[in-house]
A and B are shown apart, each in its own frame.
Chain A
Amino acid sequence: MMQAPDLPLWAALITALLLLTGSLLTLTGALGLLRLRSFYQRVHAPTLGATLGAGCILIASMLCFSVLETRAVLHEVLIALFLTVTTPVTLMLLARAALYRDRVEGNPETPPDTGQERPANPAEKA
């Protein structure tokens, strides 16, 4: 399946470089996900792929289609915007769920409660 669109040399060079950079960054993040020791360390690793890796590949796709159709094709910005909004939300939700589960079970590896966090529901405090 070796095929590619017919781009001018400069666009082909930049697209290839961005694609390789993005995929290698994603691989780095996935390796971190596989190798790091505790869950709270692992939750950081894949964000490297979700931000910088996906950004590089999205820019490569934008450049490729813009040059192919000789007009600005910007619909990849949609995916970039969506990823930027959703990645922190999902991972914070997941980390909070993990923290809750670990504290309920009294797991010794849980990060300590520093007393500086906001309560989940401010109305409960009063």
Chain B
Amino acid sequence: MSALFLAWAITCAQIVLGFAMLCALGRLIRGPRAQDRVLGLDTLYAIVMMLLLTFGIQTGRALYFETALIIAMLGFASTVALSKFLMRGEVIE
């Protein structure tokens, strides 16, 4: 009973996170300027990290946690590099 309820809730959360990803993707595609696109990409990274955590809860494996950690770090590095590029025109000076 409780497992069925939890399975239903996890699936709902995944669907809702999918819609959030669609919103961020819309901003990534539409975004009038480059900084809007970078913001959409950053949001997309954060949502993917949360989605991986829900997959981890669903399967009960710790593997997904490590993937989520790596995705979070990649998101940080890419956003910093992209905003540095927008500011200066180059990443490493």
Contacts and interface: CB of A to CB of B under 8 A. Distances in A.
Given A4-B58, A9-B2, A16-B9, A33 B50 contact: no
How many A residues are at the interface, by size bracket? 35 or more
Contacts of A53: 50
Contact of B10 (A19, A91, A97): A19
How many B residues are at the interface, by size bracket? 35 or more
A122 B5 CA distance: 58
B50 A98 contact: no
A58 B3 CA distance: 19
Contact of A22 (B26, B50, B73): B50
A57 B14 CA distance: 11
Main DSSP-derived SS at the A contact region: helix
Contacts of A121: none
Contacts of B59: 3
A71 to B, nearest CB: 13
Interface of A: 1-9, 12-13, 15-17, 19-20, 22-24, 26-27, 29-31, 33-34, 39, 42-43, 46, 49-50, 53-54, 57-58, 60-61, 64-65, 68, 75-76, 78-79, 82-83, 86, 89-91, 93-94, 96-98, 100-101
Interface of B: 1-14, 16-17, 19-21, 23-24, 26-27, 33-36, 38-40, 42-43, 46-47, 49-50, 53-54, 56-60, 62, 65, 68-69, 72-73, 76, 79-80, 83-84, 86-87
10 contacts: A6-B2, A15-B57, A30-B47, A34-B26, A42-B36, A46-B24, A49-B46, A57-B13, A90-B79, A97-B35
